[in-house]
Chain A
Amino acid sequence: MAEFNTSISEKGDVNVINLKGYLDAHTAPALENNFTQLIENNKFKIVVNFQNLAYISSAGLGVFMAYIENIRENKGDIKLTNMSDKVFNIFDLLGFPLLYEIYKSEEEAINKFGAI
């Protein structure tokens, strides 16, 4: 069974979702729950840290697509950080860098919210 888990930490008014393990069609619902929960609590400034993510398939990429519109309509954003080359290449292949801001470090992504 694929191991995947998430943790959420609050950094000021930004919420950081930390991903760990394998994000596929089986584990994507866990990440969907995180987004649903944050949106219900009106937390729209979200950074997703990929530091410990070993693997992603299109089912995982789909999660980011599913919530981004709602989040941006509420003046928030999903910013992505700390991707390995392997994971970035999959995002890149699908053209995600045009639609999402991707940063090297979590701090940089959090600061970008402040700069708006």
Chain B
Amino acid sequence: MGNSIKNNLKEIKVSSKTENLSKIRDFVGANASTAGVSQSTVENIVLAVDEACTNIIKHAYKSSPDGEIIIQIEYDESRLTITIIDYGKSFEPERIPQPDLRKYYNERKVGGLGMYLMKSLMDDVKYTSIPGKYNQVLLSKNLRGS
């Protein structure tokens, strides 16, 4: 039996305003740091969460500032997981194409870059959407060897 001690889950709730992104980053940075990962891994996790929350503010809540975003972080010895919940418009990740930078350049569109960054920076990104109820993004990072 491995000693898989689950660290207490930490949670923050913020309203869907871009000015709260720095508060979210501080929360994620401080708690991810305690998992014993490298500084660059912490920075990657922080950026991935920023991208997920920016997408929620812009798309799920369509920039309305009254929505709620819940961010939870927990880890054990092998994996750090961040769960982000919102109650906005449901999201269909399969409708977001893989970004083609040349095409974005030509069409001056930048949407989709955030999702591409999240997938690049994390080991796993999972979306669950229960239309009319809530949306959930799970971001995980394997901790062994990070």
Contact = CB atoms under 8 A, between A and B. Distances in A.
B104 A24 contact: no
B18 interface: yes
Interface in B16-50: 17-19, 21-22, 25, 40, 43, 47, 50
B54 A98 contact: no
A25 B113 CA distance: 13
Most buried by B among A22, A26, A66, A68: A26
A116 interface: no
Classify chain A's interface size. Answer: 20 to 34
Contact of B105 (A24, A55, A57, A69): A69
Interface stretch (A5-13, A35-43, A74-82, A89-97): A89-97
Interface of A: 1-2, 22, 24-26, 55, 57-59, 61-62, 65-66, 68-69, 86, 90, 93-96, 98-99
